[in-house]
Every structure is written in C-alpha cells, then in structure tokens.
Amino acid sequence: MPEMVTEATPEAVERAAALLRGGGVVAFPTETVYGLGADALNAVAVARVFEIKGRPTFDPLIVHVVDEAMLARVASRVSERARRAMERFWPGPLTLILPKGDAVPELVTAGLPTVAVRMPAHPVARDLIARAATPLAAPSANPFGYVSPTRAEHVEQTLAQRVDCILDAGPSSHGLESTIVVLDPHPTVLRYGALPVEELEAEFGPFARDLFEGPTPLSPGRLPRHYSPRTPLRVIEPRLVPPGARAASAALCFTQPDGSAVEGYACVRVLSESGDLREAAARLFETLHELDALELTRIDAQPVPDRDLGRAILDRLRRASAR
Ligand code: AMP
Ligand code: MG
C-alpha cells in the first residue's frame, strides 16, 4: 500500500494526476484550504467525493480550472463583468457563478443551471489540474460540516482511508475558503471568504449580500451550521464570561488579551498577537483543529472586527457555533 500522505513533488503530482484521470479522488493543497478533487466531467468520480465527505448532493461543488480552454469547457458564457473579475482576481481565492456548460454533470451543480468556477493560484493545485488535463470539482477535504483542513495532516486525520492520495505542500496560505460571488445581473456576495469584499467593491461598486438569510438561498450549501468543531463553540467576549464558567473551556482570542481577561481558562489561543486579520484568518481552522483535539467542554471565541477578512472569520465562527 503506497504512503497515504505524499510530499507534492512533481513525480507525486504526476501520479496523483493519473489517479484523477482514472476517476480517482485526490486531496490536494490550494491557497485557500485543502481540496478533495475529482474529474469534474466524470459524474462517477464526483459521486465518490460526495460519498467520502458525507456531503448532501443538494450542495454543489466548485470547479477548478487553470486556463481559458478549461474555463470554456465548464462555463457556457462569460459576461463582460466576469471577464473583468478574472483579469483582476484570478488566479486567486475568488469563485464566480457562471452559466453551466453542457459537459458538466448535473451532480456537480446540484441540478442548477449555473456552475461555480475558480482558478487557484497554488502552484501544486495548478500543476495537478494541468497534468490531469481536466477541470477538478473540489470541495474542502473534510467530513461534511466539520472544520476545514489547512494542512495535509488534517485530511489524514479524518479521511485518510477513503481517498486515493493526499498531496502535502505545507499549510494553506489563506486558510479560509474562497469568496463566492454572482456578478450578473447584480453583483452579489454568496459567501465571505479569503478575498475581502472591499476589494471587489473597489472594482465593481457595492455588492448585495445573499448570505443565507432568506428561505431559498442562491447557494444551497451555505448551511447555518458548518465549519463546526465537535467541541461546542460560542462567539462571545471571553472577558465577559464569569470566571467560574471558564475552567474546562478554551478562550479563542483574536488579539493578545490582558492576562486577567482570560484568567481561569483551561487553554488560551491567540489568532494574531498584533491583531492582523490576514494572520488570524490563516490560523483560524488550524487553531480550531488543535482546540478540538483537547476535548474541552466549550470554546469561547472572541468576535473579530466586522470588516475585510474579519467578515469571513466571523461568518465561519457563527456557523461553527450554530446548533
Ligand atoms: P465548498 O465546496 O464547501 O467550499 O462549498 C462550495 C460552495 O459553493 C457551496 O456553499 C455551494 O452552495 C456554492 N455553490 C456551488 N455552486 C454554486 C452555484 N451554481 N450557485 C450558487 N452557489 C454555488
Ligand atoms: Mg467545505
């Protein structure tokens, strides 16, 4: 039996690409989080991704491409605005919802007439897709609803026996999923993510929000409860928690707290001592994995500022805390 986690050397990437061409499922690094990829044009391979994750089939997948030719195979039309967004933000952590091409199986898009497409920037992801010579449908490489993986070890701990290969290229640099938007007819954010909406608004003007607040969300996968550690989590200022209620809990702080503010917690983790949102985003899932392993009774997560990447961090914390 080959090693499950493999350093992403060119040879290993070539072997993984061959597995993908044969309908296999490969966990691979991207700049957002680790993805669980299959040939997006092979419905049987894609079905395995849903099965491995335990992901409901009403939740469509993001298709990853590396060039114009691949884009043309999955999207039937690219609007003027979408074209501008690609020029400005691709490759990178931005997913665009586009009209679906006929070659994309309905399973990938959960029957929607549109397809979510992203061009990743991570060199291993790009090399893998190029060598597989097919677009990859890839959700995050974690069991459905659990904390997303930002390291190969996180994938190994939860899915190792079920995937064909795990490519390891160290921690994901953003550590948060892509930002998902629809640009036509009106620019709308569907999911906050690693590209701050402020950067998109500087290019396109104000965006509407459709962040699963209505009854029929445009993006069916944005469930209220998601990204959740097994340990119950709530979003609260740790310093406001009575000292008597801290003993078996962890404080997950955004910046370095005053010692007295977190006194009595069994464990204190700080996402960014200097209060840098980018650093906090990159460490969020990793820290949640770490805290979850301690099997404490609760995680008290301090809210972060509601701007830039803070929006995406808060979104993940709120969903992680939903019951
Ligand atoms: P994940 O793969 O877990 O990062 O999630 C992908 C997200 O993209 C899910 O929340 C989906 O609901 C969303 N998504 C994928 N395809 C579409 C689509 N065609 N229209 C709207 N949202 C989509
Ligand atoms: Mg996910």
Q: Binning pLDDT at 50, 70 and 90, where does residue 224 land?
A: confident
Taking 80 as the threshold, does the pLDDT of residue 217 lie above it? no
| Domain assignment present for 228 | no
Ligand 1 lined by 59 (C-beta under 6 Å): yes
Residue 295 CA, ligand 1 centroid: distance in Å: 31
CA nearest ligand 1 atom 4, residue: 139
Claim to verify: residue 149 and residue 61 sit in the same structural domain: yes
Residues 6+ apart with CB under 8 A from 220: 58, 59, 60, 110
pLDDT recorded at residue 307: 96
| Domain assignment present for 225 | no
Residue 62 CA, ligand 1 centroid: distance in Å: 6
Q: Render pLDDT for 235-250 as a digit per residue (tens, 0 to 9).
A: 999 999 999 999 999 9
Claim to verify: residue 204 and residue 238 sit in the same structural domain: no
Claim to verify: residue 203 and residue 252 sit in the same structural domain: no
Taking 50 as the threshold, does the pLDDT of residue 1 lie above it? no
pTM above 0.75, yes or no: yes
| Domain assignment present for 226 | no
Taking 70 as the threshold, does the pLDDT of residue 218 lie above it? no
Within 10 Å of residue 118's Cβ, how many Cβ atoms? 26
* CATH number of the structural domain spanning residue 202: 3.90.870.10
Pocket test for ligand 1, best of 61, 95, 174, 228 (most atoms within 8 A of CB): 61
CA nearest ligand 1 atom 21, residue: 219
**Full residue range of the structural domain in which residue 131 is found:** 5-209
Ligand 1 lined by 156 (C-beta under 6 Å): no
- In single-letter form, the type of residue at position 136 comes to L
Long-range contacts of 6-11 (CB under 8 A, 24+ apart): 6/165, 6/166, 6/167, 6/168, 7/167, 7/168, 7/169, 8/124, 8/167, 8/168, 8/169, 10/127
Claim to verify: residue 38 and residue 181 sit in the same structural domain: yes
In total, how many domains does the chain have?
A: 2
Residue 217: nearest ligand to its CA? Answer: 1
> What average pLDDT score do residues 200-211 get?
93
Q: What percent of the chain has pLDDT over 90?
A: 89
| Domain assignment present for 214 | no
pLDDT recorded at residue 9: 98
Ligand 1 lined by 97 (C-beta under 6 Å): yes
pLDDT recorded at residue 215: 46
